[in-house]
Amino acid sequence: MIDQQRDMTLLLVVGALMLAGIGFDLATNDAEPARAERSGSAFFERAQFCPSRILEEGAGAEVSIATASPEPVPVELEPLEDEPLELAAGSTATRPIEGVEPVAVEGFGSPVAAATSHFVDARVGRAGSVEGIGAGNCATDASRNWYFPNGDSSVATDYRLVVANPFPDEAVVQIDFLTSEGEETSAQLSEVAVASGQVEVVSVSGASVPQDLLSVRLRSARGRVIAWKALWTKPEGQPPGFEFTLGAPAPDTEWYFPAGEVSDRAQQTITVMNPNEEESSVSVALSTDEGPVQSSRLIEIAVAPQSSRQLVIPNRLEARRRNVGGISAVVSVDNEVPVVAESTTTYDDDEMSGRITEVGSADVSDRWLVAPPSLEPTTDSLVLQNPTTDETTVNVVIYDGGSEEGAGGTSPENLQGITVPPGLRVSISLEDIGGSRGSWLEVVADNGEVVAERITFNESRSDASSVMGQPDFGAPLR
């Protein structure tokens, strides 16, 4: 009898503990979905979140989508389409973005890639009107942190963050700044609410004193969001234009930049942001299509804690190397303190003018989908960077909404078997190859890994635009 009572007591205790555990889980469960990993929810594997248009007047935007699936893929495009589209590999779709809600692109059965292209024709304070184009990838996941190394709050610049919340609960974020002198906070941006299913366009320029270098850090107090940088500028003595890019959700130890240029017409600047409490040391490796471009002034550069540093590339090269033309860059951390890096290149001659900016890619891959940076380009180039020690061979397929060859896209002969030597880059002009408005590129490296970026110039807007490729598309989901 005593044994039975003891067993019954033990059973009641265990049951109470189990119920308490369940209650604790329910009490502490976050209403928002957990951050998705590659092996996580199929929704996050197959969906991308895109920004709205930036301004109600004086701006426009379009979203372009593609998939590497060999089979037709139903795609929901909310809130732009009431019914799902059917998209096959080799077939793309482009739609205008009219509203101020975030756009969700969800593929059923296979991942989809999406990007947005934007134009502005707006005033910047006393500097006058600025016309330009820009493009940015949509995001496969939301994050509690976003970083934007390069920017400024001068009187010639209008700098805004486009913050999207695709989730059912309100998000609250804090935005502060890192400069060459250290960290700065803004009471005005200490608690920015982003309503469920909405986009908040936040003025950075209006929340900071004028500064020539202003790195931006977004941290979420509640919920997860996606953030893009939109900056239009008309600086004295430099080409005007529009910059647009998806931010980085985390620091890393290596950043890759395929498309850059140092020449009589172009100047490249790499901005490094250190959001840590320890000093970071970085080195920058440059290469052309012929060989490396070395400089002792690009080795072991100190970046103080909670600060940012701007590296004007031609100023760190010997005079004889300041007209090397197209270059690729790798920013590497020397002391394991991760950073965020962004490259900005300005162009100023009769053939090409304007500015491009990209937060670097932290990935190398054997498969990329590369969006159109501009839907009506005057010039169009694909840049392939091989940061590895092995030669690789690349084949490129054009995904074209107007393709007559059907699913699978077109494979022009001169885009097959492209050799990219180890440590170097290759730039391919696309104007004469074909493809209609809104074409995507599938980049496949047969025996190695590369980084892919695309750059266009739009003569009618007098501005350039670029977009980094999206890695791992076409590979089986892990």
What is the structure's pLDDT at 409? Answer: 83
Domains: count for the chain? 1
Alpha carbon distances (Å) from 390 to 386, 419, 421, 424: 8, 11, 7, 10
Residue 300, token pair as written in the block: 């072991």
Residue 86, token pair as written in the block: 């059917």
What is the structure's pLDDT at 181? Answer: 96
Please report whether residue 215 resides in a domain. Answer: yes
pTM of the model: 0.88
Please report whether residue 160 resides in a domain. Answer: yes
pLDDT in tens, the chain (478 residues): 444 444 444 444 434 433 344 333 333 333 333 333 333 334 444 689 999 999 878 899 999 999 888 888 899 999 999 899 888 877 889 999 988 889 999 988 888 899 999 999 988 876 788 999 999 999 989 999 999 999 999 999 999 999 999 999 999 999 999 999 999 999 999 999 999 999 999 999 989 989 999 999 999 999 999 999 999 999 988 999 999 999 999 999 999 999 999 999 999 999 999 999 999 999 999 999 999 999 999 999 999 999 999 999 999 999 989 999 999 999 999 999 999 999 999 999 988 999 999 999 999 999 999 999 998 899 999 999 999 999 999 999 999 864 444 456 889 999 999 999 999 999 999 987 765 567 999 999 999 999 999 999 999 889 999 999 999 875 443 3
Please report whether residue 80 resides in a domain. Answer: yes
Alpha carbon distances (Å) from 154 to 125, 127, 135, 342: 10, 10, 23, 19
Helix H, strand E, coil C: the string for 399-432 is ECCCCCCCCCCECCHHHCCEEECCCCEEEEECCC
What is the structure's pLDDT at 324? Answer: 95
Q: What is the CATH number of the domain that holds 136?
A: 2.60.290.11
Please report whether residue 457 resides in a domain. Answer: no
266-274: strand order across its sheet? 307-312, 266-274, 340-348, 353-359
Please report whether residue 99 resides in a domain. Answer: yes
Per the structure, the complete domain to which residue 54 belongs is given by 42-246
What is the structure's pLDDT at 19? Answer: 39
CB 464 within 8 A of CB 356: yes
Please report whether residue 184 resides in a domain. Answer: yes
d(CA 183, CA 42) in angstroms, rounded, equals 39
Please report whether residue 211 resides in a domain. Answer: yes
Of the candidates 379, 402, 369, 350, the one whose C-alpha atom is nearest the C-alpha of residue 133 is 379
> Kind and range of the H or E element at 272?
strand 266-274
What is the rounded radius of gyration, in angstroms, for the C-alpha atoms of the chain?
24
d(CA 311, CA 253) in angstroms, rounded, equals 17
Alpha carbon distances (Å) from 310 to 150, 230, 279, 344: 8, 19, 15, 10
